[in-house]
Amino acid sequence: MLSNVVSRKASGLRQTTSRASVAVKSVSGRRAAVAEPQSAAPVSAEDVFAYTKNLPGVTAPFEGVFDPAGFLATASIKDVRRWRESEVTHGRVAMLAALGFIVGEQLQDFPLFFNFDGRVSGPAIYHFQQIGQGFWEPLLIAIGVAESYRVAVGWATPTGTGFNSLKDDYEPGDLGFDPLGLKPTDPEELKTMQTKELNNGRLAMIAIAAFVAQELVEQTEIFEHLALRFEKEAILELDDIERDLGLPLTPLPDNLKNL
């Protein structure tokens, strides 16, 4: 009889413990559900397009957003901000590169232009191989410092859900570098200046690609190529005049025939 009583009490204790365990799990589940952060509302393609349309860089002849490949259809605002940062950065590098091509080719015969022994010559696409030690090391250090600063200012700390993204309070391209105080305080004037920078950067990216392609094909410097073109056009115009007057034609030099 005593064993039956003990058995019934033990059974009741197990049931009570089981119910308590279920209750605790239920409460824990509700707490976890409350503590879980709610996901932000999804941004539609129309919202992304509207955000992009109000950015600097939307200009004639493309009064709307120029997106022939349809990248915005599947993009988020974070993607657009990251693309804008990339566009501004590449545009700035391209402007420096285009200027460096022209200046480097014009000053390569100047002894103070890091060319003491005259080893740097010809088209700028070959200057990379001609420059020896003492130039690239400081340049790489300077690039590393500049890029480290840009990452620290604009890029968020990588996380599982925020990898490869900009800081929320960072405006793409604004690194706080304005030693001459040229940045306008008026928002419209600032947007106009940013649009000019973007357009010049876009042109420079096309220009530096054309510089490299032209020098690879013709093996001539940029201004040398331009001068040869002018010379060829002048001779062809002179030939037209001579033909009209019945005079002997001025022959093209051999180096101009393939231009």
Q: Does 92 count as an annotated binding residue?
A: yes
User: What separation in angstroms does the CA of 72 have from each of 48, 178, 194?
Assistant: 7, 32, 21
Task: Give me the amino acid identity at 232.
Answer: K
Structure tokens at 189: 């004037």
Q: Of 238, 90, 257, 240, nearest to 172 (Cα)?
A: 90
Sign of the Cα torsion 115, 120, 124, 127 reads negative
Residues 6+ apart with CB under 8 A from 167: 154, 155, 156
Q: Does 214 count as an annotated binding residue?
A: yes
User: What separation in angstroms does the CA of 136 have from each of 57, 83, 124, 202, 220?
Assistant: 34, 29, 16, 27, 25
Q: Does 200 count as an annotated binding residue?
A: yes
Task: Give me the amino acid identity at 156.
Answer: A
d(CA 131, CA 139): 12
DSSP-assigned beta bridge partners for residue 9:
none
Q: Does 197 count as an annotated binding residue?
A: yes
User: Annotated binding residues for chlorophyll a, as ranges?
Assistant: 87, 90, 196-197, 200, 202, 214
User: Annotated binding residues, as ranges?
Assistant: 87, 90, 92, 196-197, 200, 202, 214
User: Annotated binding residues for chlorophyll b, as ranges?
Assistant: 92
